[in-house]
């Protein structure tokens, strides 16, 4: 009777995901979405390298670095490094320009860049998002109950974290707020397929048609224009 090596099944599963993300990265014209997929590819490649090493096989035909535009991982990070990107990567590792100073005189820039790199989002996007949502006020609370720097609702934050997150925690722990907000925007980019649609979903909700809302249209326009000008958007 033929037996299947469990590690082969795991490796094959990662290969399927790798090639799916590679195809999507090559097909998209959205720079932010392309960067998001490239970061996923780098993380998957690390896992495939480990699995391939166990079996003595090359994990991906041609090797991971052959993926167009892919940036190799640096250390334990799966984010872009070595300044090989086109200015779209998060963080300042390897000489990548971290973009304009964020709200609050850049008080949270290091944290923003850390998680922007981890989730494959341009740090300038997250700084603009934070400016639009709170202008760097950790105690900001919306009429809808969204809290803190990136204006997360406790229910959304709890879903992203896989544990109960209170409104007070979202106020008192800026890093937690930034991490979960960045992860949520990354999810929206993955689901919606473009940065504009992801921002619209962040503002109006994942199931809403943001284009039919004047507030949603103004929100997305404000952030997209800020990315072009390098000037942070106004609050609200």
**Catalytic residue list contains 133:** yes
Alpha-carbon gap, residue 232 to 182, rounded angstroms:
17
In the three-class reduction of DSSP (H, G, I as helix; E, B as strand; rest coil), residue 158 is classed as helix
- On the CB side of 124, CA atoms within 13 Å amount to 21
Question: In 146-183, which positions are buried (b, 16+ CB within 10 angstroms) versus exposed (e)?
Answer: bbbbbbbbbebbbebeeeebebebbbeebebbbbbbbb
Among candidate residues 73, 102, 105, 234, the one with its CA nearest the CA of residue 181 = 102
Q: How far, in Å, CA of 69 to CA of 81, rounded?
A: 12
Q: Which of 16, 23, 113, 133 is the catalytic position? A: 133
Would you mind telling me the total number of residues written for the chain in this entry? 236
Which residues are catalytically annotated? 133
């Amino acid at each position: 009777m033929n037996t299947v090596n469990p590690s082969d099944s795991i490796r094959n599963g990662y290969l399927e995901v790798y090639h799916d993300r590679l195809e999507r990265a090559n097909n998209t014209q959205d720079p932010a979405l392309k960067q998001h997929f490239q970061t996923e590819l780098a993380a998957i490649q690390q896992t495939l390298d480990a699995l391939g090493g166990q079996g003595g096989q090359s994990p991906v035909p041609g090797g991971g670095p052959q993926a167009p535009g892919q940036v190799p991982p640096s250390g334990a990070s799966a984010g872009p490094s070595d300044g090989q990107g086109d200015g779209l990567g998060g963080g300042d590792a390897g000489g990548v320009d971290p973009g304009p100073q964020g709200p609050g005189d850049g008080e949270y820039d290091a944290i923003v860049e850390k998680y922007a790199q981890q989730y494959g989002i341009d740090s300038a996007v997250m700084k603009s998002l934070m400016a639009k949502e709170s202008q760097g006020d950790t105690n900001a609370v919306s009429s809808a109950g969204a809290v803190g720097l990136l204006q997360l609702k406790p229910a959304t934050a709890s879903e992203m974290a896989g544990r109960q997150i209170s409104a007070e925690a979202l106020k008192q722990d800026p890093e937690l707020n930034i991490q979960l907000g960045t992860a949520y925007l990354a999810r929206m980019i993955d689901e919606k397929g473009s940065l504009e649609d992801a921002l619209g979903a962040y503002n109006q909700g994942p199931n809403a048609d943001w284009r039919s809302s004047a507030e949603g249209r103004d929100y997305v326009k404000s952030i997209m224009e800020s990315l072009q000008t390098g000037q942070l958007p106004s609050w609200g």
